[in-house]
Amino acid sequence: MAISLMDLPYEKTALAPHISEDTLNYHHGKHHQAYVTKTNDAIKGTALDDADLEAIVKEAKKTANQGLFNNSAQVWNHNIYWQSMSPNGGGAPKAGSKIAEAIDKSFGSYDEFKAKFKDAGGTQFGSGWAWLVAKKDGSLEILKTLNADCPLTDESVTTLLTMDVWEHAYYLDYQNARPDYMTHFLDNLVNWDFAEERLAAA
C-alpha cells in the first residue's frame, strides 16, 4: 500500500493573498510530493510496504532510520499543516468552543497563545515547525521542532495543528519575513475547526 500525496482541502487559489497559488504549487506539488516519492521508494519491498503512514513514521523513529524518518515524517507533518489552514480561518477560535476554553485555561487568553505560538515559530532556528498539542490532562502546550521532527512520536500528546516555518512555506510570498507570514497564518488562515476535531478525539 503505497503512501499517497494528500489532496489539498481547498483550491490552490483559496488561501491567497496570504499564501499564493505559486507557493502551493511549489510547496505541495514539489516538496510534499518529493517526500511521498522518497518514502515509497524507501519502504518498497520491506516489512513496512503495507503499513500506514503513522506506523511508518513511528517505526523509522524507533529504529533510528533517519532517512525514512525524515521523508515519512515530512509527509505526515505536511498533511497536518494543510488541514491547519482554511480560507475561512484566522483569528481567535469561536467563543464557547472547547478549543477556545482550553486556550484560555492553558495560556490565559488567545492573545497570550498567539504571542507564544509566534515566538515558537520565530525562534525556531533554521527549518522546522511550531505545534499546538494537547496533553493527557487536557491542557495545551506549544512545541517547536527542528527539520522533520514532530509530536507524532510522543505518545503523551495529541497534535492539534501546526505551522510550517521552513523557508519554502513562505519565501515566495514573504521572502525572509517569517514574522509577517506567521501573522497572516494566525490572523487569516488558522483552522480552529480542525483543531477542535482533533481535541475532541484526543
> What does the chain come to in residues?
202
DSSP alpha helices (H): ranges in 20-52? Answer: 21-26, 33-43
- How big is the chain by its Cα radius of gyration, in Å? 16
- The response to whether 168 counts as a known ligand-binding position is yes
Angle between helices 110-122 and 98-107 (to 10 degrees): 70
State residue 154 phi and psi, 5-degree precision. -105, 105
Neighbours of 58 (CB within 10 A): 18
Beta carbons within 10 angstroms of residue 47's beta carbon: 8
Strand partners, 145: 129
User: Is 32 annotated for ligand binding?
Assistant: no
Q: Quote the CA–CA distance of 17 and 196 in Å, as a whole number.
A: 25
Is 22 a known ligand-binding residue? Answer: no
Annotated binding site for Mn(2+): 27, 78, 164, 168
Annotated binding site: 27, 78, 164, 168
